[in-house]
Amino acid sequence: MDGFFEILAILTSAVFIVWLFRHLHLPAILAYLVTGMLVGEHGFAWAHHHVDYEHFAELGIVFLLFTLGLEFSVPKLLAMRHLVLAVGSLQVGISLVVFILISLALGQTFASSLVIGGVLALSSTAIVIKQLSESGAMKKKSGQISVSVLLFQDVAVVPLLIIIPMFAMDSDASMGLALLFALVKGVFVVGLLLLTGKWLLPRLFHLIAQVRTDELFVLTTLLVTLLASALTLWFGLSMALGAFLAGMMLGESQYKHQLEADIRPYRDILLGLFFVTVGMKLNINVLIEFPLIVLGVMFGFMALKVLIIRFLAVKAGELSKDGWASGFMLAQMGEFGFVLIALATQVELLPMNVASILLGVGVISMAITPFMVDNATKWSLKLSNDKGVDTTELETLPDNSTLSDHVVICGFGRVGQTVSRFLKQEDISFVAIDIDPLRVTKARAAGENVLFGSSRQTELLHAAHLSQAKLVVIAFGEDKQSLDVVEKVRTLSKNVPILVRTRNDDQLQVLKDAGADEVVPEILEGSLMLVSQVLSLTGVPFSRIFKRVQKERNSHYSHLHGFFQGEHTDMSAEAIERIEFAHAVHLNDDSYAVGHSIAELMLGNSHMIIVALKRGDQEIEDPEGSTVLEDQDTLIVRGKPRRVELTERFLQEGT
């Protein structure tokens, strides 16, 4: 029972702390580390050694390396080989040597210095990639440099995982022989797994896919991962190496994305448990007693990494500002650093006080990473004395511009430029506003009326002669930005029509309430265009098609909502607030709704819509309120998932 209560304590703490950290927009990894710190022997001591957590937690690393192998692409590595080799490999090598020398100078053994060097040389792939994706910086040169370095760091983890346990051996001679023997075994195992992966696994997964059973596919994925790990473990190598090779074998297959989706829940839960076990080793007393040492180590190693990456990027022919930006993005310690710390403490290569300092350094450096990524470009421009493109001239239109009854286009990307081409064909003048200086420069060189800056700036809207415009088109596709622009335009001009492009209709009503006259959701408009083509090709007159499409637009696409739930319907916390389900409620003699009219049931008060009524072979769309429901009727209703459940209960039970 003690083990049960320990697991209960860990799960309860993890749920609350992960929720809190995600609410504060902090990485979940930090939440798991803090959970371990609280429940471990240095915290409240709720978890002792009644349960062998570390063996389960090691499976988290196995699955992490498997998904890393899935993402590891040899063609991608070759395509980015210049940056990967010129910056990535040298960053790992130079950082490793520098941190080893510093550790040796501070009195550490060579084995522990190697561990410290490996830990500090690596960066957080999970956090950096996530931040780059969310900020859109992945396409920038600094983002490409960062990804190249991370790619090599991920590869460098594998040999470190193999080498570190061998330093626990007694003599240097035996360690040297063991390394040589491990190399021979490694070549053999890699060759064996690669051959298996090329000839056997694709056929196996093809057979499994034909059965069309999700459970079997998941079980096969787990089995392949664990078999590959067991094979490398049997040869005296790391389980993680086998998982990485298994992932790499399947990375080029057509099942790559499904495999990643299947393994993700197991990986995330077990990886969370792994970081909890790492957090249990974090002695908070060390951080309290030596705060200056922790902060000194953190700022010292981060500064060195920034300088090394900037130096290597410039040597590789990149701009100084891009080198600085990449350095700031990659300055932190990574999740694989925690893996190496756990492995080193397990084989007693790293003193516990040093491990605690490194864990504290890692936690703090990862916590400030989102802030550093967001400000990397700004800091890099200051340090490189590069002011970027001179945008002063781009913020006003040429002196000879005379505009009235024109269209203001906010956002001059692909959609904005397409709109402008059709306007030019009709001899309708326009002014575009865009935040990309290169795009604005090239468009201005081609004679286009484009202003540089944010469409939310009052000065730019005045420069675009908003007061004389006959239409404003917001072409971003990003609802938050579009809403800000709609509100700003409305404060400056009460009457100008505003047309907004969105990807879907999540914020349709919000945008209309803010002052947008028309909102065009791409997904729903694409559906309407497809329906138009279908009806046209089946012989429906064009006039009737036009009326149906226009009716749908006028009703805010009401009939394009509420679809029957599928097995793979997104039911995440974000989606559940916006999706609507269509649901069939079958009535019988005992149903409360039988004998009542639709109006009497007042379903509209619950924000439910009756889509149709099926009675025998007849289907009535939008039935009238006076329709009395009968035995064996089927009502098709539409609404939010929770309201659908309550409505069905009301129709059946009257409660």
In whole angstroms, what separates CA 415 from the centre of its chain?
A: 25
What are the distances in angstroms from CA 173 to CA 1, 13, 106, 170?
Answer: 47, 47, 26, 9
Same domain as 361, residue 443: no
Separation CA 113–CA 106 (nearest Å) = 9
Residue 555 has pLDDT above 70, yes or no: no
Confidence of residue 235 (pLDDT cuts 50, 70, 90): confident
Residue 102 has pLDDT above 90, yes or no: yes
Same domain as 407, residue 467: yes
Identify the domain boundary among 516, 534, 555: 516
Closest CA to 360 of 297, 294, 296: 294
Residue 1 has pLDDT above 50, yes or no: no
For the chain, the first-to-last Cα distance in angstroms comes to 42
The answer to whether 409 and 419 have CB atoms below 8 angstroms apart is yes
Collapsing DSSP to helix, strand or coil, 268 comes out as: helix
What is the pLDDT at residue 508?
79
What is the pLDDT at residue 595?
85
In which order are the strands placed within the sheet that holds 609-615? Answer: 581-586, 634-639, 609-615, 618-621
Kindly state the average pLDDT of the residues 216-235.
Answer: 81
Cross-strand partners of 124: none
pLDDT digits (tens, 9 = 90+) for 308-323: 999 998 888 888 888 8
- 1 occurs within a structural domain: no
Residue 184 has pLDDT above 70, yes or no: yes
Q: Which two tokens stand for residue 464?
A: 């675009």
Mean confidence (pLDDT) of the chain? 79
Q: Which of 106-120, 274-288, 458-472 has the lowest mean pLDDT?
A: 274-288
What is the pLDDT at residue 26?
74
- 128 occurs within a structural domain: yes
Same domain as 196, residue 104: yes
Confidence of residue 391 (pLDDT cuts 50, 70, 90): very low
Residue 606 has pLDDT above 80, yes or no: no
Q: What is the CATH number of the domain that holds 117?
A: 1.20.1530.20
Kindly state the average pLDDT of the residues 166-180.
Answer: 62
- 639 occurs within a structural domain: yes
Same domain as 326, residue 449: no
Kindly state the average pLDDT of the residues 505-528.
Answer: 83
Same domain as 340, residue 191: yes
Confidence of residue 557 (pLDDT cuts 50, 70, 90): low
- 54 occurs within a structural domain: no
Looking at the structure of the chain, the number of domains it has is 3
Same domain as 464, residue 430: yes
pLDDT digits (tens, 9 = 90+) for 439-475: 888 888 788 888 888 888 888 888 888 988 999 999 9
Separation CA 216–CA 226 (nearest Å) = 15
Confidence of residue 219 (pLDDT cuts 50, 70, 90): confident
Tell me which of 378 and 78 has the higher pLDDT: 378
Same domain as 305, residue 171: yes
Kindly state the average pLDDT of the residues 124-135.
Answer: 69
Confidence of residue 305 (pLDDT cuts 50, 70, 90): very high
Residue 643 has pLDDT above 90, yes or no: no
Kindly state the average pLDDT of the residues 519-547.
Answer: 83
What are the distances in angstroms from CA 511 to CA 474, 483, 484, 514, 554?
Answer: 11, 6, 9, 5, 16
Confidence of residue 161 (pLDDT cuts 50, 70, 90): confident
What is the pLDDT at residue 225?
82
- 11 occurs within a structural domain: no
Separation CA 188–CA 231 (nearest Å) = 11
Those residues whose C-beta lies under 8 Å from the C-beta of residue 469, and which sit 6 or more positions away, are: 403, 405, 406, 407, 408, 431, 493, 496
The answer to whether 363 and 33 have CB atoms below 8 angstroms apart is yes
Identify the domain boundary among 489, 516, 543: 516
Those residues whose C-beta lies under 8 Å from the C-beta of residue 567, and which sit 6 or more positions away, are: none
Judged on CB neighbours under 10 Å (0-12, 13-18, 19+), 574 is: exposed
Q: Which of 81-85, 337-341, 388-392, 505-509 has the lowest mean pLDDT?
A: 388-392
Count of other CB atoms within 10 angstroms of residue 650: 18
Q: Which two tokens stand for residue 162?
A: 């193999």
Q: What's phi and psi for 612, nearest 5 deg? A: -160, 165
The answer to whether 115 and 340 have CB atoms below 8 angstroms apart is yes
Tell me which of 131 and 633 has the higher pLDDT: 633
- Strand 609-615 vs strand 518-521: parallel, antiparallel, or unpaired? unpaired
Q: What is the DSSP-derived secondary structure letter of residue 87?
A: I
- 278 occurs within a structural domain: no
pLDDT digits (tens, 9 = 90+) for 241-273: 777 777 777 766 666 667 777 777 777 777 777
Same domain as 459, residue 421: yes
- SS3 track for 188-203: HHHHHHHHHHHHCHHH
Separation CA 221–CA 211 (nearest Å) = 15
What is the pLDDT at residue 95?
92
Residue 28 has pLDDT above 80, yes or no: no
Q: Which of 53-62, 101-110, 460-469, 644-653 has the lowest mean pLDDT?
A: 53-62
Same domain as 316, residue 376: yes
Residue 396 has pLDDT above 80, yes or no: no
Identify the domain boundary among 340, 359, 383: 383
What is the pLDDT at residue 390?
47
Separation CA 210–CA 232 (nearest Å) = 30
Confidence of residue 389 (pLDDT cuts 50, 70, 90): very low
Residue 565 has pLDDT above 70, yes or no: no
Separation CA 369–CA 217 (nearest Å) = 37
Separation CA 277–CA 6 (nearest Å) = 13
What is the pLDDT at residue 125?
74
Kindly state the average pLDDT of the residues 488-508.
Answer: 87
- 478 occurs within a structural domain: yes
Q: What range does the domain containing 142 cover?
A: 68-255+294-383
Separation CA 274–CA 56 (nearest Å) = 8
Confidence of residue 407 (pLDDT cuts 50, 70, 90): very high
Kindly state the average pLDDT of the residues 488-507.
Answer: 87
Cross-strand partners of 431: 408
Residue 429 has pLDDT above 80, yes or no: yes
Same domain as 300, residue 361: yes
Residue 107 has pLDDT above 60, yes or no: yes
Same domain as 587, residue 478: no
352-367 helix and 291-315 helix, angle to the nearest 10 degrees: 60
- SS3 track for 303-352: HHHHHHHHHHHHHCCCCHHHHHHHHHHCCCCCHHHHHHHHHHHHCCCCCH
Q: Which two tokens stand for residue 171?
A: 């003599």
Q: What is the CATH number of the domain that holds 463?
A: 3.40.50.720
**pTM of this structure:** 0.56
- 32 occurs within a structural domain: no
Closest CA to 151 of 80, 209, 206: 80
The answer to whether 561 and 638 have CB atoms below 8 angstroms apart is yes
Residue 92 has pLDDT above 50, yes or no: yes
Alpha-carbon torsion angle 620, 622, 627, 631, nearest 10:
50
What is the pLDDT at residue 469?
92
Same domain as 236, residue 176: yes
What is the pLDDT at residue 299?
92
Q: Which of 194-198, 419-423, 604-608, 645-649 has the lowest mean pLDDT?
A: 604-608
Q: What is the CATH number of the domain that holds 632?
A: 3.30.70.1450
